[in-house]
Structure 1
């Protein structure tokens, strides 16, 4: 096992051990009305979040939990790294050096994860940074918008997001489980989950989706034509890759390839991180009342917005 993989596994195993020791009521904390997992985030880190200094060349990926489905640190995390490394033509030695520096500075996936001192350490990273977060725009550090760093917004149809997050919640030791789908559905509709309401998340990001430094892409379009989706992403961030290089990255990041790698990379979390990766799984759990409730809420909040249209609700969320 290489050093980078070992470091991530050790980090995740520690989180698992801490979660197993914690009482259910201690697994979450609330910050400004939104719940977060206590073994991954801390109020102290959120209090100094604005000290993070974004760079104009930062690659920012934002997504509500389980929008990427494949894994908690997000499938697109690996994709963006592969695109950036391939475009920069890094040698194996240069890649190892980047990994070693990142590990030595203890900079792990997710902007909101870790200790309050992490933002000082992130300043020391001497290469282009790929920054992943679940945070809504009003919580993000102000420097991200001031810097004009490019932001890739990954969204997914609401019903599949709800189902994927339900399975994740009930399998992830860092989160309290729900006794039933019905209990969870109520929590989802009222935003009583970690990282808050997905409806609010989409409404808030809709205010920025027309910004020139923001590009929205859907999980569904990546599933339908992954190569085309990766080409759009590469073009947006200015990664110069050939058609052959794009295809190679697409093959490396296919669900099958990532699933096979999961048992080796995230260690004990492999089976938790990876789900079916499908579209329309929601039909197995939603009852008619729940369908109608979500349809009504979507119509009221998102139907006439740019992001609402992007999601293609009529295609993916209607029986």
Structure 2
């Protein structure tokens, strides 16, 4: 089913309204060396986040902005909910499942105290680099799904999103956006830094990498892989049902209900290789060079399949 996250809708619509009254400079702030959106995050929340106590059966989906968090998050939420209803119906509570803004770092400072009373499994999203996670995530071995997408499509999608989502600074040209993205001067900082940092954590036993491209290519196989990692014990029929309900088209059609007005900005194309319409020769050369210098030969770099998805 399509889960309606009212807390999510309230938070993003409030952020969009606030963003309309702010200058581009006012929309960003820096905390612990990373740039974040002022209307969604705050130093107070980040300080409170340090006290968050992760559980070993928590499910954390972590992906940089525009890597497909909301789409894959729907799949993860549906898989967990389907398993709970099938095996532990006494624990399934739809209201509690959707009680908070799903992104770990977005909310109010009291959020983490409220979350202590919520039953397992808690499904949590995040855009944070793994080194910015609360210590308990790796200490208690919460289940972490590392979601990545090829960097050129992330850049293209992020550019379009920035010009629709009023909580983020807009850009007149892709060139100007690309320059800030490569310097890490956009919400959530540098994607290259995000990928490089994940390369240091990819071998942790509680981490499973998954790519946007493989989920697009075969959603059923991707959902099956996730369910196995989370030990959800679902049948092929269960997984087929989740995949059918979670196609990009189905979610885009339901986006007004599930995500409010934000859905129009969130679910744009959901395609692969959309970057080709925006990247100049100089943009291509810069991204190719940066990838080669920082990620070529790494495990994360191999997962991206750069030669398949990022070559002209």
Q: Does the pair score TM above 0.5? A: yes
Shift of 1:18: 2.1
Match of 1:86 among 74, 82, 87: 82
Query: Using the alignment, how far apart are the partners of 1:278 and 1:258 within structure 2?
Result: 14
Give the 3 Å change call, closer, same or farther, for CA 291–35 of structure 1 in structure 2.
same
Match of 1:309 among 279, 302, 308: 302
Which blocks of at least 5 consecutive residues in structure 2 are unaligned? none
Match of 1:188 among 177, 181, 184: 181
Give the 5 Å matches for 1:252-291.
252-291=245-284
The equivalent of 1:207 in structure 2 is 200
Shift of 1:4: 5.2
SS of the residue 2:132 aligns to: coil
Give the 5 Å matches for 1:67-216.
67-68=67-68, 74-89=70-85, 97-100=93-96, 102-103=98-99, 107-216=100-209
The equivalent of 2:59 in structure 1 is 59
Q: Which moved more, 1:262-271 or 1:252-261?
A: 262-271
User: Are the equivalent residues in 2 in contact too, given 1:230–1:246 (CA < 8 A)?
Assistant: yes
Query: Using the alignment, how far apart are the partners of 1:237 and 1:86 within structure 2?
Result: 13
What is the count of residue pairs matched by the alignment?
A: 310
Which blocks of at least 5 consecutive residues in structure 1 are unaligned? none
Tell me the TM-score normalised to structure 2 length. 0.94
Q: Which moved more, 1:18-27 or 1:298-307?
A: 18-27
Residue 66 of structure 2 is aligned to residue 43 of structure 1: no
Give the 3 Å change call, closer, same or farther, for CA 213–313 of structure 1 in structure 2.
same
Query: Using the alignment, how far apart are the partners of 2:14 and 2:225 within structure 1?
Result: 37
Shift of 1:15: 2.4
Query: Using the alignment, how far apart are the partners of 2:226 and 2:145 within structure 1?
Result: 8
Query: Using the alignment, how far apart are the partners of 1:101 and 1:153 within structure 2?
Result: 21
Shift of 1:258: 0.4
SS of the residue 2:61 aligns to: strand
Tell me the TM-score normalised to structure 1 length. 0.92
SS of the residue 2:130 aligns to: coil
Query: Using the alignment, how far apart are the partners of 1:9 and 1:110 within structure 2?
Result: 12
User: Are the equivalent residues in 2 in contact too, given 1:60–1:131 (CA < 8 A)?
Assistant: yes
Shift of 1:21: 2.9
Give the 3 Å change call, closer, same or farther, for CA 111–273 of structure 1 in structure 2.
same
Deviations 1:110-166 (A, max 9, x none): 010011111111111123101110100111100000001111001000100110111
User: Are the equivalent residues in 2 in contact too, given 1:60–1:150 (CA < 8 A)?
Assistant: yes
